[in-house]
Amino acid sequence: MNTKKKTTIKDIASALNISPAAVSKALHDDSRISKKTKDAVKKVAKDLNYQPNHLASALRKGKSNLVGVIVPRTNSNFFSSVIENIEAVLNKEGYHIIITQSNESYKKECDNIDTLLFTQVDGIIASMANETVNLDYYEKIKSKGIPLILFDRGENDLNVDYIGINDYDSSHMIVEHLVDQGCKRIAHIGGYKRTRIFNNRIRGYIDALKKHNLPLDNELLIESNLTIEDGRLKMTQLLALKNRPDAVYVAGDYAALGALQVLNEQHINIPKDIALVGFGNEPFTDMVTPTITSIDQHSSEIGKQAAKTFLAYVKKKSTSQTLNKIILNADLIVRHSSNKKDLS
């Protein structure tokens, strides 16, 4: 197979019969190089399709102006909004981002971290995969002196900066709303409690039930991956119970969508027979029938704050600044799927 050799600075220097050092200076617009030489170098570089080796440059300078971003998935409006706002803030300061996704896989998350470290990124902003329990790879980032900022999903044991919402209070808010609608048997399709945010949502749900003297029934508390398929499966499981719930709080909008599909397919009146609440305020929650009540996590603000936290490290030129824990209050967006009072 014929593979084209990559053009180097030496190739440009040879074509112009000047030194590689002069080529490098010309490409970096060094004032010591004449305009005539700069123009000649840039023309030959273009003709030979020269591409700068950013990794080599980063190794020389000790700075790449690249920030790695790790998310569980990019097909979520929450994560795509966080990414968009991280990029908007960092671009203004001359940084570019490298986006990787774990697809909720611990192994892929570790591979992503290795790739970003090899690329000599100046920092990493991450939200952990559902499968992640072992924190060694995140400790590896810290050990190299690279700023690490976690958002949405992060573990307190790492002792790093974190930006997210108050998941515990958000669960309280949801249960309060459902109780206010007259619901008495509230189920929770949650994430895995080994993940801090989902554990906090489960704790908030349980404590809110206790507050209102509602029974905690283990068959109404289900852990899952919170995919559409999980939502369908777990809702079918709840509907098979002898004593069905009159409300279901789902800790993710995609699983809530799957649950909604099953309720509609079985011609169950929403919210009269079963009220439904999701989490994340994905755009589709306002487009389906009925529209889905959900928690707005303020993704744009989370993205901005994550980027600003990284920039604070850069300005101090240190990874030992006071840790930043930014916890935002979420909003409950009430829609038709849980609003029983609209029926009266």
Q: Which residue has the higher pLDDT, 195 or 268?
A: 268
Largest CA distance in the chain: 87
pLDDT tens-place string over residues 126-185? 999 988 888 899 999 999 999 999 999 887 678 899 999 999 999 999 999 999 999 999
Residue 248 lies in a domain: yes
Q: Which amino acid is residue 331, in one-letter code?
A: D
Structural contact between residues 174 and 278, judged by C-beta atoms closer than 8 angstroms: no
Average pLDDT in the chain = 90
Number of separate domains in the chain: 3
How far apart CA 233 and CA 252 sit, in angstroms, is 14
Per-residue pLDDT at 54? 62
What is the reported pLDDT for 322? 63
Q: Edge-to-edge strands of the sheet including 247-250?
A: 221-223, 186-190, 247-250, 275-277
Q: Is residue 192 part of a domain?
A: yes
* Length of the chain in terms of residues written: 344
Same domain, 193 and 293: yes
Indicate whether 136 and 208 sit together in one domain. no
Q: What is the pTM of this model?
A: 0.81
Match 């979520």 to its residue by tokens: 76
304 and 287 co-located in one domain = no
> 285-324 pLDDT, tens per residue?
999 999 999 999 999 999 999 999 999 988 876 555 567 8
Closest CA to 309 of 162, 166, 165: 162
Residue 344 has pLDDT above 90, yes or no: no
Q: Is the domain of 139 the same as that of 258?
A: no
Residue 134: give its domain's CATH number.
3.40.50.2300
The answer as to whether 58 is a domain residue is no
- CA 208 to chain centroid, in Å, comes to 27
The closest alpha carbon to 323, from 141, 143, 160, 139, belongs to: 160
- Nearest Cα to Cα of residue 205 among 181, 226, 182, 189: 189
Q: Is residue 1 part of a domain?
A: no
**Distances from the Cα of 122 to the Cαs of 14, 32, 117, in angstroms?**
34, 30, 9
* Cα–Cα distance measured from residue 306 to residue 304, given in angstroms and rounded to the nearest whole number: 6
In which domain, by residue range, is 208 found? 167-297+332-343
Token pair belonging to 320: 């030992």
Question: Quick one: 47 and 186 in the same domain?
Answer: no
Q: Are residues 104 and 42 in the same domain?
A: no
- 60 belongs to a structural domain: no
pLDDT band at 1 (very low <50, low <70, confident <90, very high): very low
Residues 157 and 221 in one domain: no
Each residue's pLDDT tens digit, 321-341: 567 889 999 999 999 999 987
Q: For residue 310, is it within any domain?
A: yes
Helices 9-16 and 35-47: crossing angle in degrees, nearest 10, is 120
Between CA 141 and CA 319 the distance in angstroms is 11
Looking at residue 64, its pLDDT comes to 83
Whether 79 and 224 map to the same domain: the answer is no
Percent of the chain surpassing pLDDT 90:
68
Q: Are residues 311 and 339 in the same domain?
A: no
Domain match, 217 and 198 both: yes
Question: Does 44 reside within a domain?
Answer: yes
* pLDDT bracket for residue 259 (50, 70, 90): very high
- Looking at the structure, do residues 219 and 337 belong to the same domain, yes or no? yes
How does residue 10 score in pLDDT terms, banded at 50, 70 and 90? confident
Tell me the pLDDT tens digit for each residue of 61-79: 668 899 999 999 988 899 9
112 shares its domain with 240: no
Evaluate whether residue 191 is within a structural domain.
Answer: yes
pLDDT in the model for residue 317: 63
Residues whose CB falls within 8 Å of the CB of residue 68, separated by 6 or more in sequence, listed in order: 97, 98, 100, 112, 116, 119, 121, 123, 124, 125, 126
Q: How far apart are CA 138 and CA 326, in angstroms?
A: 20
